[in-house]
Structure 1
Amino acid sequence: MAGSEREPAEVRIPRTALDAMAAALSVRTVAMRTWPDGIEWMYPMGAWDDPHLEVALMPGGDEVWLRMSTDRASVAVWTIQQWWVFAGELPEAPPG
């Protein structure tokens, strides 16, 4: 996956999956798994056995990849600016 030219793919991310990822990020309850290709994917803690959104921050910091656990072959690519807009809309995490 990394370093190869990707074909545009349609990735359908259910609102509930995006909301769950936003909640996990806002309270810092995110788990990570490294795939055999070396890409580290984040997902909401405790969601591995349920359909969930997975997010990978690409080396270099220019792109963020998103995919559903139910269709890992399809990846949506966000610019880092799109990611920061999304992250900026998250509720403040409680003091920790």
Structure 2
Amino acid sequence: MSGIEREPTEVRIPKAALDAFAAALSVRTVAMRTWPNDGLEWMYPVGTWEEAHLEVALLPGGEEVWLRMATDRSSVAVWTIEQWWEFAGELPGATPPPA
């Protein structure tokens, strides 16, 4: 990992926010913005920047994926890359993870 560390926190991600992100990801309509505090490139559904939305970042090294709500960027949920591929693999038009 790149030296970025987080304290374990509870992150509440509304199902609607996760569904909106999944829909945007499945049709490839996510935008990306580099956050100055951590230098990570966060993905979010296009057109949602001004409203509550889910943001997702792949950590350098590709072993973890971070998820956070725009309404509380101090709390981050951590998924393994395997959890991410399981989630992404269920989306319409998904391609299998790289071998």
Q: TM-score, normalised by structure 2?
A: 0.88
Using the aligned pairs only, state the percent identity.
Answer: 79
Report the counterpart of residue 33 of structure 1 in structure 2: 33
Measured in 2, the distance between the counterparts of 1:48 and 1:4 equals 24
Which blocks of at least 5 consecutive residues in structure 1 are unaligned?
none
Distance apart, 1:38 and its partner CA:
1.2
Question: Which residue in 2 is equivalent to 1:18?
Answer: 18
Q: How many residues align?
A: 92
What is the CA distance between 1:4 and its match in structure 2?
A: 3.8
Q: What TM-score results when the alignment is normalised by the length of structure 1?
A: 0.91
Structure 2 alignment gaps of length 5 or more: 95-99
Aligned position for 1:46:
47
SS, match of residue 61 in structure 1: coil
Aligned AA (2:26): S
Greater than 4 Å deviation, 4+ residue runs: none
Give the drift of 1:47: 0.4
Letter in structure 2 aligned against 1:25: L
Q: How far 1:5 moved relative to its partner? A: 3.3
